[in-house]
Amino acid sequence: MSQDCNTALSIGNPFLEWMGVTLKEWSPGYAEMHLPVSAKLGNRTGRVHGGVICTLLDSVSGYSGLYSGPDGPQLRSLTLSLTTNFIDSGDGEVLVAKGFIERKGRSVFFTRAEVWMDDALLMATAVGTFKYLRTK
């Protein structure tokens, strides 16, 4: 299901869609999301609000553990913990969030994530713990 960065995949999340987030790449153990920078994402200093960056880190981390292929079951998860480190700030056009699986168990998975400005300036990193939701 991994596609090139010119095509967005179905994200299936109303909040992320409302924000303008697109899922650009998704494969086993990896997810990449993009968010165009706009004034509505800013804080009082005119930079991207930290909550936007945390949302991207949380979302891309979770999606990195949920890939199951086009014919696989739809997986869901809940965030148990997310530790965020803000590294830098800057101006640019697109926030690029990348999530990676570090370890995966039957009911819990562990991730790391990064948010980059224009895929050139590292803005923030995170490590997360997620719990799979059981299907009914």
**3-class SS letters over 103-134:** EECCCEEEEEEEEEECCCEEEEEEEEEEEECC
Place of tokens 């809940």: 78
Is pLDDT of 12 > 90? no
Q: Per-residue confidence at 1, pLDDT binned at 50, 70, 90?
A: very low
Q: Per-residue confidence at 7, pLDDT binned at 50, 70, 90?
A: low
- CA angle at 94 for the pair 132 and 24, rounded to the nearest 5°: 45
State residue 2's pLDDT score: 46
Q: Per-residue confidence at 9, pLDDT binned at 50, 70, 90?
A: confident
φ/ψ region of 118 (left if φ > 0, alpha if ψ in -120 to 50, else beta) reads: left
DSSP character at residue 72: S
- 56 in Cβ contact with 49 (< 8 Å): no
Q: Per-residue confidence at 136, pLDDT binned at 50, 70, 90?
A: low
Q: Per-residue confidence at 70, pLDDT binned at 50, 70, 90?
A: confident
- 82 in Cβ contact with 61 (< 8 Å): yes
Window from 56-60, 87-91, 93-97, 132-136 with minimum mean pLDDT: 132-136
Q: Order of strands across the sheet with 108-117?
A: 22-27, 30-36, 94-104, 108-117, 121-132, 77-86
Q: What's the whole-number mean pLDDT along residues 65-78? A: 90
- pTM as predicted: 0.91
